[in-house]
Amino acid sequence: MIEAIDAARSAAEARIAAASTVDELRALDTELLGKKSALADVKAGLGKLATVEEKKSAGQAVNEAMTAVRSALDARIAVVARAERDVQLAAEALDLTEHFVAPGRGRPHIVTQAWQRLEDVFVGLGFQVAEGPEVETDWYNFEALNMPPSHPARSMHDTFYVDHGATGSTVLRTHTSPVQIRVMQTVKPPIYMIMPGRVFRNETTDATHLAVFHQIEGLVIDKGITLADLAGTIDAFTKAFFGEGFGSRLRPSYFPFTEPSAEFDIRTPDGSWLELGGCGMVHPNVLRAGGLDPEEWSGFAFGFGIDRMAKERHGVGDVREMYTNDIRFIEQF
Amino acid sequence: MKIVHSWLLDLAKSLPDDVDAIAETLSDIGLACESVDRVGATVAGVITARVIKTERHPDAAKVHRVFLDCGDGTEHHVWCGAFNMQPGDIIPWATPGTTMPDGRAIETKPIVGIPSEGMCCSARELGLGDDHGGILILDPDTPVGVPYGKALGLAEEVVYDLDVLRNRPDAYGHVGVARDLAARFGVPFSASDGSIKATGTLKSAPVEIVAGDRCPRFTTIVISGVRVTSSPDWMASRLAAAGMRSINNVVDVSNYVMLETNQPNHAYDFERLGGGGFRIRLAREGETMVTLDDVERTLTVEDLLICDLDDRPIGLAGIMGGQNTEISDDTTVIALETAWFEPLGIMKSVQRNGLRSEASARFERGMDPYGIDASVSRFIELLRLTCPDLVVHEGAVDARTEHLPKPVVIDVRPTRVGALLGAQFSAQEIISLIAPLGFVGALHGDTISVTVPTWRPDCTLEVDIIEEVARHYGYSRLGATVPKSTQPGGLSPVQQRRRRVRDVVLGLGVSEAMPHPFLTDGDLDRAGLSNVAVRLLNPLAVGDDVLRTSLRPGLLKAVAFNESHRRSGVALFEVGHVYPPSEDVLPAEHEVLAVVLAGREAPAAVAVWRELASAMGWGARLDQSVVSAGLHPTRSATLSAGRDVVGIVGEVHPDVLDAYGISQRVAILEVNLSLLLASEPKVAQWKPTSRFPSSDIDLAFTVPTSVTAEKFEKSLRQNAGALLVDIALFDVYRTDASAESRSLAFRLRLQANDRTLTDADVAEVRDKCIAGARKLGAQLR
């Protein structure tokens, strides 16, 4: 009996050693240890043995043999599976630099990028964002901004007139400032708003001038707002948008809708100055046009071009390039 | 505005003779200095020489030989292409080794074998004006052998180019600029006091003002003993530095006084003045006159004329004089006119006639109505320099009407100054800050009464005086504080949604374009769109006058452009405004998203729409029965939500593609963002995912063409009921486009939240779906 057990075990171990694939070894599991295996047969014949001792020792031997075959099988499966995976991994080798151009993400226009970066900085400074129509009434674009008809400053704006309503009553807005009036009329102060948008000037385009371009305007109206608050806000914006190494200054200037008025310049880290935009304390006549009492409220406004931000940031030589809609331009950014 | 450094120092002698300090201060007081230029620099190596004789040479037709004496005892020989000199003339001679302002190096070069020692110079070659008609002939008394600059008394002048804004007409003159600078530097400033001493007999040029509102003040004074000659070199040099040509002593003094005091004036030949006086009236419609620039002007009833007492027009008031009374070399008696004209009328007249002058630029901005006397006094003082026998006659006329502006007095509250500037100033500090600018303040209780100097027409309100305080105190000294916003910053919900829309479209591989918002009729025609549109009255280019009613033409042009540059298959979008006509106060302007996918078919655009709709929570029906103009009739649909049309989706009509020169298909999506962004999308609510296994069934049907896939899918959804967790069309098979039916294959995934589905559950769903499909005329394949 013991001999039969040993023979079966030896035969099983030989088969395991000879198997070379995981599939073969999984098949051997049933064949060598299943109900119809040689060892199972021996186990089934134990009852026929005469003595209890014989049964006991033969039973023990069969169990030992089966355990030994099981562990031989498991060990062999582990080795073969490892080898097979290694072969598979080697065969799957790829050169990841074999790169096919796939349709990638779309590219936002660089003016939109500048626009959104500006919005985000001002939102961080506590501003909300207001919008208004691009086709405006003369009243919002000029008159409410302290430029009554025939005000000489109107000639500073090369205005596109629109054939809508009475002649001269409708224009393409020459600046984003009319939105100030619309905001004052609809929002109860305190007002901390920026107003980005498209504006129009009837002038011949060149490398630095467009007839259609974009501005961002800021308006703060609250109790006790001062020119020092304007200077501080411009400086906070400068540092937040351009970086800590930048500074700003205000220079006296003239706009009909602000008084006092100023230009604001940005000091770059190398110490040079860049003219950025115009600003000032909201003119009392403008506050009145917006329905606010200048004795109760004061405020400041500022504005500058968005296109130039995009142009300077990306080193675009000619602003007109930004509007060719040439995919070879768009895809660079 | 060109402001000459030495001139400023004449007017305010204690100003620092430091160009950088002046330039910086000018910008700091709001007279932005755009550039600092040095003019009148002389060319080293050019000396004076006398022409001994000139000779022609048979072998050189275009040049002649000039023999020069420069006082060194040697006869110098120069070949010269200009023939305007005579023996004895003194000319500027560029000696060999000179580098001319244009960079030319002057060398000894031979012509027909005879060397030329240097070059004779024209005025232009020396940067002395535009005259290149011949060699510059100098005064016969000029010594020879000296640098021409010294001989001409040329001085190098520093010129500040100021960007003077509309609110500061006074800063068009040196006096105004010097006054501001002196105030900032705290140094004295003196202007002419305006006293005129008349010594001559009574000789008057009477004035009759007919248009009193347009000409509130008109003064005349008669001056005899005038000798028309050339100006002193220093004056010519300053005029040149300020950008004006020297003409003769009378014209030069007139210009010099204007550049200094800012007050234009006009000298008439008194002998040629009809009736010996002036009449100021509006022109008659169609009346003509020839202005000094030799152009005949046809006038309207809104143009103001200066006429003589024979009613003959002799000047377009405030703009330009006429030819008929121009002073000539023989003039000995002049009538000097100095007036104040109403600015707006001058501005309109300038625009109407398209004629601008140094005078009109000043009058239309607003002169000092009371600055006339000082300018007249200065005129006489300066003219006397070249006309020692000058006689100023008694009988000067100062005609005024009630329209002459009066000095303005403004009440200023020191508390208000502090409240607006953020720095506190006492009443006394305010008064002394603005006093050097000419503002006279007197404290009455808590308020300062400020009398505005008449050269500052811009100051009419308290806030204007506050600006003067800030300007002269220095903006940079007022401090910088940041106001605390009491509201949270942020984008509005609509703005946040718009950004989300962009992100989704960008994520689908579509790039952003920004076409021009102006179109031509042709652009609309080619796109198959109506040309009912709002127009520009003054477009940049003729025909480029349509305010776009659709983003489509702009994007199609972009597709065509890129295709012509070998970039087919571009995917572009625009978020922009369109401006359709409306009966309201303004056009029906609204925001649109348009997407074009070149080289793609309609389903690609539908896929963009579906992705957007899913991301934004938008819903709309695709209605292929309504196709708008310019779109492919069998591959496009209208997007409808309730009664609203929210957009279109599909393909661009092949006719339109042909018209735009596009040779690929273009899938298109356009949606009305103003409409769609306005409504708040529903926030997605959590549905528990089942822990029980799911079962898939695939069903393929032959579906009549009349039943849309959308409608058929809806029927499957309804019939599958609550067990359906997902459904997807995975195959479409069509024998040919005209077939009455096609095969649609769907995969349905079924799952229950509370149990594992049985075969019977699945079979029931399948049977219901098939039965439902049958009602739509579809058969299971």
Specify burial of residue B617 (Cβ count, 10 A radius: 0-12, 13-18, 19+): middle
Residue B571, in any domain of the structure? yes
CA distances from B665 to A188, B602, B606, B631 (A): 51, 9, 15, 11
Collect all residues of chain B within an 8 Å Cβ-Cβ radius of residue A301.
none
Tokens 């500052």, located at residue: B456
Residue from B180, B144, B185 nearest B32 by CA:
B180
| Residue B645 in this model has a pLDDT that exceeds 70 | yes
3-class SS string, B432-452 = HHHHHHCCEEEEECCEEEEEC
pLDDT for A58 beyond 90: no
pLDDT of residue A143: 96
- Whole-angstrom CA distances from B721 to A293, B715, B776 are 64, 10, 18
Segment B430-483, tens digit of pLDDT: 999 999 999 999 999 999 999 999 999 999 999 999 999 999 999 999 999 999
Tell whether B179 is covered by a domain: yes
The verdict on B129 and B252 lying in the same domain is no
d(CA B443, CA B687): 77
For the residues of B562-592, what is the DSSP string, one character each? HHHTT--S-EEEEEEEE----SSSS---EEE
Report the residue from B166, B476, B482 with minimal CB separation from A229.
B482
Helix (H, G, I), strand (E, B) or coil at B293: coil
Compute the Cα dihedral for A294, A295, A299, A300 and give only its sign: positive
**What confidence score (pLDDT) does residue B153 get?**
67
Query: Closest Cα to residue A195, out of A221, A171, A219?
Result: A219
What's the pLDDT score for residue B561?
98
DSSP B171-232: GGSHHHHHHHHHHHHT-------------EEE----EEES-TTT-SEEEEEEEE-----PPP
pTM recorded for the entire structure:
0.84
User: Does residue B542 form part of some domain?
Assistant: yes
Listed residue (A239, A241, A225, A319) closest to A279, CA to CA: A225
Residue B418 pLDDT level (bands cut at 50, 70, 90)? very high
Domain of B615: which CATH number? Answer: 3.30.930.10
Q: Is a pLDDT exceeding 80 seen at residue B324?
A: no
Q: How far apart are CA B89 and CA B69, in angstroms?
A: 11
CB contact under 8 A, A123 and B489: yes
Is the domain of B614 the same as that of B722?
A: no
In this complex, the residue of A137, A152, A222 whose CB is nearest that of residue B586 is A137
CA atoms within 13 A on the CB side of B584: 10
Residues B443 and B559 in one domain: no
Do residues B353 and B265 share a domain? yes
Confidence of residue B361 (pLDDT cuts 50, 70, 90): very high
Q: Is residue B662 situated within a structural domain?
A: yes
Shared-domain flag, residues B633 and B767: no
Classify burial at A299, counting beta carbons within 10 Å of its beta carbon; exposed 0-12, middle 13-18, buried 19 or more: buried
With contact defined as beta carbons under 8 Å apart, do A217 and A194 qualify? yes
* Mean pLDDT, range B314-321, rounded to an integer: 92
Alpha-carbon distances of B149 from B7, B138, B157, B234, rounded to whole Å: 20, 11, 13, 12
Q: Within this chain, do residues B236 and B147 fall inside the same structural domain, yes or no?
A: no
pLDDT of B499 reads 97
**Which residue of A131, A147, A162, A282 to mutate against B (max B Cβ within 10 Å)?**
A162
Residue A274 in contact with partner chain B when CB distance is under 8 A: no
pLDDT of residue B147: 85
Answer yes or no: is B488 within a domain. no
| Alpha-carbon distance A94 to nearest alpha carbon in chain B (angstroms) | 27
Is B514 in contact with A222 (Cβ distance < 8 A)?
no
Q: Are B315 and B321 in contact (CB under 8 A)?
A: yes
pLDDT surpassing 80 at residue A102: no
In a domain, B191, yes or no: no
**Six-digit token string for B728:** 């997807």
Q: Does residue B737 carry a pLDDT above 80?
A: no
Nearest Cα neighbor of A125 from B493, B483, B494, B420 is B483
Mean pLDDT calculated for residue range B246-264: 94
Amino acid at position B73, single letter: G
Contact B530, B524 (CB under 8 A): yes
Instruction: Residue B743: give the domain boundaries.
Output: 695-780
Q: What percent of chain B has pLDDT over 70?
A: 100
Residues in chain B within 8 Å Cβ distance of A316: none
What is the percentage of chain A residues whose pLDDT exceeds 90? 74
Are both B358 and B244 inside the same structural domain?
yes
Please tell me the total count of domains within chain B. Answer: 6
User: End of a domain among B425, B447, B475?
Assistant: B475
Give the per-residue pLDDT at B161: 94
Instruction: For residues B666-690, give the mean pLDDT.
Output: 93
Query: Does A111 touch chain B if contact means CB atoms closer than 8 Å?
Result: yes
- Residue A322 is classified by DSSP as G
Phi, psi of B96 (to 5 degrees): -55, 140
Q: Which tens digits make up the pLDDT trace of B373-385?
A: 999 999 999 999 9
Domain annotation covers residue B547 = yes
Q: For testing the chain A interface, which of B33, B540, B548, B567 should be mutated: the one with the most A CBs within 10 Å? A: B540
Over residues B52-106, the pLDDT tens digits come to: 999 888 888 888 999 999 888 889 999 998 889 889 999 999 999 998 888 889 9
The answer for A 7-66 residues in CB contact with B (under 8 A) is: none
Q: Is A260 on the interface with B (CB under 8 A)?
A: yes
pLDDT band at A1 (very low <50, low <70, confident <90, very high): confident
Q: List the one residue out of A216, A228, A224, A217 whose CA is nearest residue A189.
A: A224
> What residues of A are in contact with residue B502 (Cβ under 8 Å)?
108, 112
Q: What is the mean pLDDT of residues A150-158?
A: 74
**Distance between CA B178 and CA B174 in Å, rounded?**
6
Strand-pairing partners, residue B64, are B80
Taking the C-alpha atoms of residue B380 and residue B256, their distance in angstroms, rounded to an integer, is 12
Rounded to an integer, the average pLDDT of A145-162 is 83
Whether B69 and B75 have beta carbons less than 8 Å apart is answered as: yes
Q: What is the pLDDT of residue A219?
A: 97
Q: What is the DSSP letter of B752?
A: -
**Confidence category of residue A156, pLDDT binned at 50, 70, 90:** low
Query: What does DSSP assign to residue A48?
Result: G
Which run of H or of E encompasses B659?
Answer: helix B654-659
Chain B contact for A249 (CB, 8 A cutoff): yes
Specify whether B122 is located in the same domain as B178.
no
CATH number at residue B752: 3.30.70.380
Split at pLDDT 50, 70, 90, the class of B212 is very high
Tell me what pLDDT residue A122 has: 95
Q: Give per-residue pLDDT as tens, A185-240.
A: 999 999 999 999 999 999 989 988 899 999 999 999 999 999 999 999 999 999 99
How far is Cα B690 from Cα B751, in angstroms, rounded to an integer?
7
Residue B54: count of CB within 10 angstroms of its CB: 16
Is B735's pLDDT higher than 90?
no
Q: For residue B193, which amino acid is it?
A: D
DSSP label of B303: S
Q: Do A227 and B488 touch (CB under 8 A)?
A: no
d(CA B93, CA B752): 108
* Percent of chain A surpassing pLDDT 70: 99
Model pLDDT, residue B676: 95
What separation in angstroms does the CA of B250 have from each of B199, B235, B322, B361, B389?
A: 20, 12, 16, 21, 14
- Mean pLDDT computed over every residue of chain B: 92
Residue B481 lies in a domain: no
Q: Which of B645, B678, B711 is the last residue of a domain?
A: B678
The DSSP output letter for B653 is: -
Cα B683 to Cα A263, B510, B686: the distances in Å are 46, 26, 10
Domain match, B640 and B764 both: no
β-strand partners of A109: none
Tens of pLDDT, residue by residue over B527-568, are 999 999 999 999 998 889 999 999 999 999 999 999 999 999
- The partner residue sitting opposite A228, judged by closest CB among B165, B481, B508, is B481
**Cα B47 to Cα B205: distance, rounded to the nearest angstrom:** 48
Confidence of residue A49 (pLDDT cuts 50, 70, 90): confident
Lowest mean pLDDT across A288-297, B133-142, B175-184, B259-268: B133-142
Six-digit token pair at A30? 């049933």
Say how far apart CA B147 and CA B600 lie, in whole Å.
78
Tokens at B397, concatenated: 């006329």
Kindly state whether residues B57 and B16 are assigned to the same domain: no
pLDDT at B177 over 90: yes
Residues of B in contact with A228 (CB under 8 A): 421-423, 478-481
* Same domain as B588, residue B568: yes
Q: Which of A273, A181, A194 is nearest to A237 (CA)?
A: A194
Binary contact (A152, B365; C-beta < 8 A) = yes
A253–B515: do the CB atoms touch at under 8 Å?
A: no
Q: Give φ, ψ of B728 to 5 degrees.
A: -145, 135
> Residue B138 maps to which CATH number?
2.40.50.140
- Which parts of B456-508 fold into alpha helices (H)? 462-473, 493-507
| Contacting residues of B for A293, CB less than 8 Å apart | none
Asked whether residue B715 falls in the same domain as residue B661, the answer is no
Predicted ipTM?
Answer: 0.88
Q: How many residue pairs bridge chain A and chain B with CB atoms within 8 Å of each other?
A: 243
In degrees, rounded to 5, the angle at the alpha carbon of residue B486 between the alpha carbons of residues B674 and A199 is: 40
pLDDT of residue B736: 83
pLDDT value at position B130?
Answer: 66
Residue indicated by tokens 């056009």: B587
CATH number of B29's domain: 3.30.56.10
Nearest beta carbon to residue B587 from set A164, A167, A204: A164
Q: Is B406 left (phi over 0), alpha (psi -120 to 50) or beta?
A: beta
**What SS3 state is found at B549?**
coil
Cβ of A108 within 8 Å of Cβ of B547? The answer is no
